[in-house]
Amino acid sequence: MAQTQPDYYAVLGVARDAPDSEITQAWRRLVLVSHPDKQQAAGKSASPEPSNDIVLINEARAVLSDPAKRAAFDAQYEAPRPPPAAGPRIREHVSLEVFTPHPVDEPEKYTHPCRCGHEYVVTIDDLEAGVDVLGCPGCGEYIVVEYEEVEE
């Protein structure tokens, strides 16, 4: 999201989880330093208009001290969430028990028909390696093979 206003936490120099007392304390310190009378004493010209620094400091405190405004402000600055992990879209979960065993083939394998007419194929070696997501070579749909490892 495009940020439309300055980061008020940075303006006041406080952490995002700063309590209200710390926000007020930072605001007071900055107002004293940036006050027009202090600017004039430091040799800077004082203008009848409040300086942008004072306006921004006051605005930061007004937003961060009000729970509703602070929550709305924080929502704008939330870190973007990473996109979901890329991977195959699973059509269904299928128990290994409904697969057809082929014990004489080398390596031993199991097959299950896909709705496109091709077959999902998983070997004993695949299962031992933890493979549980299969793609159909015909249509590219994926299924998850559900099975339990039995220790002998």
88-130 per-position pLDDT tens digit: 788 899 999 999 999 888 889 999 999 889 999 999 889 888 8
Q: Which range of residues forms the domain containing residue 120?
A: 90-146
Helices and strands: H and E segment counts in the chain: 6, 6
136 and 105 co-located in one domain: yes
- The domain that holds 20 is classified in CATH as 1.10.287.110
Let me know if residue 83 belongs to a domain: no
Let me know if residue 85 belongs to a domain: no
- pLDDT tens, position by position, 12-40: 989 888 999 999 999 999 888 877 666 56
**Residues composing the chain:** 152
Domain count, the chain: 2
60 and 17 co-located in one domain: yes
94 and 67 co-located in one domain: no
C-alpha dist (Å) from residue 125 to 130, 142, 148 = 9, 19, 15
Mean pLDDT in residue range 132-142:
88
